[in-house]
Structure 1
Amino acid sequence: MFKHLSTTLIISTLLLASSSSIADEKKTYRWRLAETWPKDFPVFGDTVKSMAQRVKEMSNGRLIISIDSKNKHKAPLGIFDMVRAGQYQMGHSASYYWKGKDLKTMFFTTRPFGMTATEQYAWFYYGGGMELMQEVYGPYGLLSFPGGNTGNQMGGWFRKEIKSVDDLQGLKMRIPGFAGEVISKLGASPVNIPAGELYTALERNTIDALEWVGPSLDLRMGFQKVAPFYYTGWHEPATELQFLVNEKAFNTLPNDLQAILTIAMRASAYDMYAQSMHENAINLEKIAKEHPEIQIKTFPASIMLKLQQANNDLIEQFKQQDPLTKAIIESQERYQEITRPWTQISDQTYLEISQ
């Protein structure tokens, strides 16, 4: 499926757009996109809007994508089903939300102690990640594309300081995907709650802690008002959101509009990574200046060791699920082995010598 969507062929398709039929050139395609996020949600929602605008401009108005936020469709964690059923032609969410439907989906968002954002993008586009992702989503009649990266996320907001593994026993924490599986091995109780309900859940003691994103978005949510301990990350080093596309709807588009949509998604996804870096930097500075009550912490080494051990055990268990799960995990492991030495020699070494 994705071989005809390679960069070279996308460009070729655009150059040959003039060969489309006169009917296709005049026809306007109107699509609907459902997003997990509330209306006008910053960064995540910006990515969806920019994608739709790029599509409109590049297609000269031949493909128009309207956006329904969770305020309208009322199903923030129902994007998979709505796009699969054709209720919406597209969706914007995160792949790890669908682990209850298919465990393999969660590996395409991020995983604890896994690749950085740049390593993961390289894996998607040059290391076989896109092809593996389509093997997972194809049977559901869906296409999945990278939908924007947050970079390394913070480890979460906690009401109480976490000093040992004992402090995690029975802790109710909003933490989805693979990381939720890991932390449950240490005695915590992970739950998944939509973005719009997070603050209320924390304020009303429905949960004891939560992870969301990082300074880029967290301060706007007000978590610091009820949970002053802010921990650095381990669980989501490269959180990639997702554009979901109904495959039948995609196949009804002329070739040039398929290429335009694909390019717009890719451009908007990477732009979100840049925007996330900017917003994280601006808001980290704000924490230092305006919120001295926030205590930024790193989990003790004893906890990190237990988390890594639990993660490794789960990885081995997941490999036994089925051949495709094993292939995905081993592809990611091998690619991390290939790229991490360069990350260390380039970025890590530079950061160490430039202090």
Structure 2
Amino acid sequence: MIMLKTTTKLLLTSALVAGLSTAAVAKDKVYKWKLATTWGSTLSPFYDTPTNMAKMVEEMSQGQLKIRVDASNKHKAALGILDMVKGGQYDMGHSASYYWKGKDINTLPFTTMPFGMTTPEQYAWFYHGGGMDLMKKAYKKHKVLSFPGGNTGNQMGGWFRKEIKTVDDLKGLKMRIPGFAGEIMAKLGLTVTNIASGELYTSLERGTIDALEWVGPGMDIKMGFNKIAPYYYTGWHEPATELQFLVNERKFNKLPKHLQTILVTAMKLSAYDMYIQNYHMSSEAWSKIEKDYPNIKIKTFPKEVMDAMKKANAELLVEKTKGQPLLKEVLDSQAAYQKKAREWTKMSDYLYLKDNLK
């Protein structure tokens, strides 16, 4: 993993500065935890993130905290992570917050929102704009703690069997698309479903679905979606998809303070490492896409379709926040921060790219 050895040494130094005595650690109780992931063991970099976090924790704690990571093919409940951590079957989990919108709508915005913040904007919101406090508030009733768990950056808009030229072309399609984007697509006439990663290709191949969105070229192309659905659309729905670490609150509170510090720090670093690893993977894949995969047709949704998506998004935001004060508080916080941060994003990234793109 990128920078793993160097950053582990830096984190260990931080732990020592915080008052951790290596001699004391060797004599203390050994804590053995289990972590369940939504991802299969071959799904890089999603599965890499918790496994590398666990390695960092064990090394920094000198073996005092050991975390066993179980992939979805072992525990067989890819979309049951929140319940398993909440119920104590697992001490930790690695998943995505918007998967729980059916259980608790307040968890939805902590992954990403359509037409929302970019990754740097969203991380700034989490750590300096009140996002972490709001996420703690949302998960309090579940008696779990949630932490950012790695970002994909702006995701692609999905794989389609046929070209989408009008809004009518969307109607009647069956599509795998989770989160608030799924609500938007349903409003535009699609039949929407959420399917675990290990079942995506088979579902597309068998015609259970007509289209799907996954992540981006670094993860998508090796899944082989282009063999069935060659139209690959640019993104709108998940501009900053943040995965999550879930931690059983009672178990966390039983850890000594220095182990809590090590765990939180390792989660934060592994999340960042996932972001840059995924960015690298997509950059590599995109540089080869035209030569190695000439059948893929890169498309952008027409203005008519984008306008319909934006209209549906605005209507749904009003509808979903009625009688949901916490959800409204989170979404208002995100919107206000996005408005403020976007001015700097325009000045820094947008104008730089505008003036320098060939």
TM-score normalised per structure 2: 0.94
Deviations 1:115-164 (A, max 9, x none): 00000000000000000001010111100000000000000000000000
Aligned 8 A contact 2:98 2:179 in 1 = yes
1:169 corresponds, among 161, 168, 171, to 171
Q: What per-residue deviation string (whole Å, max 9, x for no partner) do you get for residues 48-70 of structure 1?
A: 11111111111111111111101
- 1:110 touches 1:239 (CA, 8 Å); kept in 2? yes
CA drift at 1:25: 4.5
The 5 Å alignment of 1:81-120 reads 81-120=83-122
**Is 1:259 aligned to residue 293 of structure 2?**
no
Tell me what 1:292 maps to. 294
Residue pair 2:26, 2:62 contacting (<8 A) in 1 also: no
2:234 and 2:128 mapped to 1: Cα distance?
A: 30
What SS class does the counterpart of residue 149 from structure 2 fall into?
strand
Q: 1:12 to 1:52 in 2, by over 3 A?
A: closer
- AA paired with 1:234? W
Q: Give 1:15 deviation, angstroms.
A: 2.8
TM-fit CA distance, 1:276: 1.1
Contact 1:146–1:240, Cα closer than 8 Å, also in 2 = yes
Where in structure 2 are there 5+ consecutive unaligned residues? Answer: 1-11
- Distance between the aligned counterparts of 2:125 and 2:200, measured in 1? 32
| Distance across 2 between alignment mates of 1:258 and 1:113 | 35
Decide whether the 8 Å contact of 2:25 with 2:61 is kept in 1: no
Displacement of 1:322 after TM fit?
A: 1.8
4+ residue runs of structure 1 moved beyond 3 angstroms?
10-14, 16-25
State the partner residue of 2:61. 59
Provide the C-alpha distance between the structure 2 equivalents of 1:201 and 1:17, rounded to a whole number of angstroms: 52
Contact in 1 for aligned 2:117/2:240 (Cα 8 Å):
yes
Say if 1:287 and 1:79 are closer, same or farther in 2 by CA, change over 3 A: same
Displacement after TM superposition at 1:312 (Å)? 0.7
CA contact (8 A) 1:17 1:255 kept: no
Question: Is structure 2 residue 230 aligned with structure 1 residue 228?
Answer: yes
**CA RMSD, Structure 1 to Structure 2 (Å):** 1.7
Q: What letter matches 1:81 in structure 2?
A: D
Tell me how far apart the structure 2 counterparts of residues 288 and 271 of structure 1 sit (CA, whole Å): 28
How far 1:318 moved relative to its partner?
2.2
TM-superposed CA distance for 1:317, in Å, is: 1.6
SS of 2:47's partner is: helix
* Cross-structure match for 1:36: 38
The question of whether the paired residues in 2 share the 8 Å contact of 1:104 and 1:325 is answered with yes
SS at 1:93 equivalent: strand
Per the alignment, residue 199 of structure 1 pairs with 201
Partner of 1:310: 312
- What displacement does 1:14 show? 5.1
List per-residue Cα deviations over 1:202-245 (Å, max 9, x = no partner): 00000000000010100111101100000000000000000000
Aligned residues: 346
1:99/1:106 contact within 8 Å kept: yes
The change in CA–CA distance for 1:85 and 1:20 in structure 2 (over 3 A counts) is: farther
Provide the TM-score with structure 1 as the length reference: 0.95
User: What is the match of residue 146 of structure 1?
Assistant: 148
Measured in 1, the distance between the counterparts of 2:18 and 2:156 equals 45
Say if 2:216 is the partner of 1:209.
no
Deviation at 1:39, TM superposition (A): 1.3
Alpha-carbon offset, residue 11 of structure 1? 9.2
The answer for the alignment partner of 1:180 in structure 2 is 182
**Residues 198 and 12 (structure 1), Cα distance of their counterparts in 2 relative to 1, 3 Å cut:** closer
